[in-house]
Amino acid sequence: MRSLGGRKRGDKCLYVSTGGFTKDAHYEAERADVATTLISLPALRKLVVDHYESLDAETRALVPLRRLYWPVGKK
């Protein structure tokens, strides 16, 4: 059994990095016995924007966003 950061089988891990992950980090996450998800800053940003409306008020208060509509030109 291979633990990751003190986690044990049955745990679920989520690691977020604003600087990305090394090839070794991806390798360790893929081979760990613990379900591990690595999320980079661009992926986190997309998740927040895509699911913002379904976040609770306390979480939205941490990242206050306002929907903005921008006109597009004719093709």
- Block means of pLDDT (10 residues each) for the chain, 75 residues, are 65 90 92 90 94 95 92 85
* Residue 2: per-residue pLDDT: 52
In whole angstroms, give the CA distance from residue 62 to residue 50: 16
* Residue 24: per-residue pLDDT: 94
* Residue 44: per-residue pLDDT: 93
* Residue 73: per-residue pLDDT: 86
Q: What sign does the CA torsion over 39, 41, 42, 44 have?
A: positive
SS3 content of the chain, % helix, strand, coil (to 5): 40, 20, 45
* Residue 1: per-residue pLDDT: 47
